[in-house]
Amino acid sequence: MLPRFMIWSMKQLRNGAPDRWRVIAGWAALLVAASAIAAASMVLGWRIAGPVESETALGRVSFQVAADESFGEVNAYVPIADWGIRADAFDSPFELQLEIRSVDRRGALEAAGGGSDALATTRDSLEDSAEGAVIRGFAWGLGTTLVVAVLLWLLRVRFRRLAFVSVWVAGTGVLGTAASLLLASSTYDARAFSSPSYYGRGPELAQLLAFFERQQENDRYTATFENALSNFSAYLAESPRVGDGEGRSIFIASDLHSNLPILTALSDFVADQPFILAGDFGVAGTQAEANAVAPQISDLAEEVVAVSGNHDSDLLMEALAAEGVSVLETEGLLGVDGGYTTGFLEVDGLEVAGFSDPLEWIGPDPGSPERIFSFPELEDGEEREAEARASLLAWFDALPSKPDIVLVHQSGLAQHLASTLAEQGYAGDLTIVTGHSHFQQIDRYASGAINVVNAGTLGAGGPLRVGQESAGLGELHFGAADPALQSVDLIRIEPLSGQAQAERVILDVVCPPGDSAGEPCRYEPD
C-alpha cells in the first residue's frame, strides 16, 4: 500500500496547475534532502572507520577512505618529512589517503633498486592493503547509511514522508557503494603514478621536485606503476634531508598529567630512541599517581630521562628513579638510594643536565588542598619567581662544564635562562627542553646557538580533557659530530584514534642565524 502523501501527490499531479508545480517542487526538495542525508551518512561512516595500518615492504603505512572534491585521487603523504604525492588514478567520488608512518629502509632500498621480486612484493602489499582499506571504508559507510535509514523508518509514524526518505537513503547507499567501487575498479589507471603532483614546503618541496626531475632523465623512468614505485622508494630510502641520515635524534615531551591512555600510542613513535620528559608527570604527584605512572614511563623506551615539574613531588621522582628512569635534579642524577651522582648524564653522546622545578612538592601529602602550583598564586609570588630565576642562573654557572641539553620545566624560567645567556654572549650550542605552557613552540637566541624547544602537552590536557586536545611530542635532530640542533619534528597525536600529524622545522630555514641576533626568533605551528 502506498503512503497517503504519495497518493495525494498523484492526485495533485492529475489535477494540473497550480498544485502540480508545488508538488513537483516538494518532491525535488525531498529527493535532494534524502540524497544529502545518504551522502553525509556515507562520509560519516568513512570517518568512523578511520585509518587502517598495515605493514608493507616500504614500512608501516596507514590507509583511509575520505571524500574527494577532485573525484578520484590517491594521496600519499610522509608526515615526518612533510611532503607528499597526489595522483588522479581513478574516477570515483572518494579519495584514498596513504600515510607512510615508518620507513623500512631496507625494503625501500630493494624496491628502489628495481629488482623485479622486490618491486612485485612492494606493489602487491600496497595494492592488497589499499583494497582492504577501501572495502572496509565502504562497509562502514554503507552500514552507517543503513542505520540512518532504519532510524528514519522508525520515525515515519510521526513524519509520514520519512518513509520515502528512509527507502531512498538505503537505496542510494547500496547503489552508491556498488557504483563507486565499480567505477573505481574500471577506471583505475596505474600510469597516473608516473606523472603525479607533489606538495611540501620550503626546501623539502624543492628537494623533492629536483629529485624526481633527475629520475625522469633515467632510462628506467617510464609510464609504469613499477617504475613510479621504484622512484618513490628511492626518495624514501636515499634522499638526504635535514635531520635524517647520519646524526642523532632524541624524542622530547612534557606535561603528561597522569593521562596514561596516551602512552599506548607513543610506542609507535619512540621505538628504541632516547626519550626526554620535561616534568609534570602527575596532577599532584601523590603516591597513587607515582605507583601508576612510574612503571609505564619506564617502559616507554630503553633510555628515559626526566626532570620534575610544578605538579610533581619528590616521592614521584623517586618512584621514577626506582623504575630505572634517569631522573636529573639540580643536585645531579638521582640514585635509587636517594643520593646523587655528580656530573652530566650522557644521552647519545650529548651532555644533559636538569634543573628541579622550584615548585616541586617536597615531603608528605603532595595532594594537600592547600598546595599552590604557580608563582602568581603565592602571596610572595614575584619574589619567589625572582629567586627561582637567580637560582637557575647560579646553578647553570656552577656546572663543571657546558652542557649540550638542559631540562627546565617552566617555560618562563627556560626563556629567562636563554635570554640571559644570549645577552652575556654565551659561546657554544645549547638546547633547552621545556614545557609547562602546553603549546608547541621553538625560540632561537644568539644567532641560532641557543634554542628553547617546547613540544606541548603530552597528556592532552589531562584525563578530564581526553579527546579535546591533541597530545604533543617532539623529536630533536642533531648532527653526528657537533651538538648544534638542526631541526625539530613537532608531532601532534589524537589520543583516541592514535592518528598523528607532524611538521619538520628546519631551524636555519624558519629562523636564519642572522635574524636571531637581537630578539629571539619564535616559531609556532599553525
Residues 472-482 have pLDDT tens digits of 889 898 988 88
Residue 42 lies in a domain: no
Residues 346 and 484 in one domain: yes
- Indicate the number of domains in the chain: 2
Identify whether residues 232 and 261 lie together within a single domain. no
Alpha carbons 146 and 506: distance in angstroms, whole number: 48
- Domain membership flag for residue 90: yes
Range from 105-114, 208-217, 356-365, 517-526 carrying the lowest mean pLDDT? 208-217
* Model confidence at 187: pLDDT above 80: yes
- Is residue 60 assigned to a domain? yes
Identify which has the larger pLDDT, 213 or 92.
92
**349 and 481, same domain (yes or no):** yes
Is the pLDDT at 208 greater than 90? The verdict is no
Contact assessment for residue 45 and residue 65, using Cβ atoms and an 8 Å cutoff: no
Task: Please list, residue by residue across 89-120, b when 16 or more beta carbons sit within 10 angstroms of its beta carbon and e when fewer do.
Answer: bbebbbbbbbbbbebbeebbebbbebeeebbe
At residue 240, the pLDDT reads 43
Residue 403 inside a domain? The answer is yes
Quick one: cell of 503? 611538521
Comparison of pLDDT for 225 and 182, the residue scoring more: 182
Mean pLDDT for the chain?
A: 81
Of these ranges, 22-31, 191-200, 299-308, the one predicted with the greatest mean pLDDT is: 299-308
Q: Are residues 162 and 277 in the same domain?
A: no
pLDDT tens-digit map of 44-72 = 998 888 888 777 777 778 888 988 766 77
195 and 293 share one domain: no
pLDDT of residue 328: 96
Residue 107, C-alpha cell as written in the block: 625494503
Q: Both 285 and 142 in a single domain?
A: no
Which residue type does 293 have? V
- Which residue(s) pair with 55 in the sheet? 60
For residue 206, the model assigns a pLDDT of 53
Question: Using CA atoms, how far apart are residues 233 and 223, in angstroms rounded to an integer?
Answer: 16
**Ramachandran category for residue 77: left, alpha or beta (phi over 0 → left; psi -120 to 50 → alpha):** beta
Predicted confidence (pLDDT) per residue in 126-168, tens digit: 888 888 889 999 999 999 999 999 998 888 777 777 888 888 8
Residues 81, 213, single domain; the answer is yes
Mean pLDDT of 275-293: 93
| 131 and 104 together in one domain | yes
With a cut of 70, say whether residue 11 has pLDDT above it: no
Judge whether residue 31 has pLDDT over 80. yes
User: What's the whole-number mean pLDDT along residues 4-24?
Assistant: 53
Q: Specify whether the CB–CB gap between 221 and 227 falls below 8 A.
A: yes
Domain boundary among 205, 238, 271: 238
> Do residues 356 and 486 share a domain?
yes
Whether 179 and 217 map to the same domain: the answer is yes
From 104-118, 342-356, 360-374, 390-404, the region with the lowest mean pLDDT: 104-118
Which residue's entry shows cell 633527475? 214
For residue 513, pLDDT over 60 is answered with: yes
Region 342-365 average pLDDT: 91
Residue type, 494: E
- Counting Cα atoms < 13 Å in the Cβ hemisphere of 325 gives 30
Higher pLDDT, 2 or 382: 382
- Among 281-290, 295-304, 318-327, 503-512, name the one with the lowest average pLDDT: 503-512
The confidence band for 195, taking pLDDT boundaries of 50, 70 and 90, is low
Answer yes or no: is pLDDT of 302 > 80: yes
| Mean pLDDT value across residues 201-222 | 51
Please state the rounded mean pLDDT for residues 516-523.
75
State which of 238, 266, 290 marks the end of a domain.
Answer: 238
| Cα–Cα distance list, 329 to 333, 345, 459 (Å) | 6, 11, 22
User: What is the domain-level CATH number for residue 469?
Assistant: 3.60.21.10
The predicted pLDDT at position 223 comes to: 42
**Is residue 31 a part of any domain in this protein?**
no
What is the model's pLDDT at position 49? 86
40 is a domain residue: no
Give CA–CA dist 326/114, Å, rounded.
46
Q: Which helix (H) or strand (E) holds 419?
A: helix 411-423
* 210 and 302 part of one domain: no
Answer positive or negative: Cα dihedral of 110, 56, 50, 499: negative
Contacts of 171 (CB under 8 A, 6+ apart): none
Q: Does the residue 34 lie in any domain?
A: no
Q: Which residue has the higher pLDDT, 489 or 463?
A: 489
Q: Which residue has the higher pLDDT, 20 or 519?
A: 519
Lowest mean pLDDT: which of 73-87, 212-226, 286-300?
212-226
391 pLDDT tier (thresholds 50, 70, 90): very high
**138 to each of 64, 146, 166, 175, 306, how far by Cα in Å?**
10, 12, 19, 12, 45
Residue 320: all three cell numbers together: 621514577
Omega into 400 within 30° of 0, i.e. cis? no
CB of 352 within 8 A of CB of 305? Answer: yes
DSSP sequence for 322-359? HTT-EEEETTEEEPTTS-EE-SPEEETTEEEEEE--TT
Cα pseudo-dihedral 318, 319, 324, 328, rounded to 10: -30
Instruction: State whether 438 and 482 are in the same domain.
Output: yes
- What pLDDT sits at residue 506? 81
Share of the chain above pLDDT 90, in %: 35
pLDDT of residue 219: 42
Between residues 105 and 521, which one has the greater pLDDT?
A: 521
Q: Looking at residue 2, what is its pLDDT?
A: 45
Query: How far apart are the C-alpha atoms of 334 and 39, rounded to whole Å?
Result: 59
- Domain extent at residue 477: 249-523
pLDDT of 507: 85
pLDDT at 8: 47
In a domain, 368, yes or no: yes
Q: Reduced to 3 states, what is the DSSP secondary structure of residue 262?
A: helix
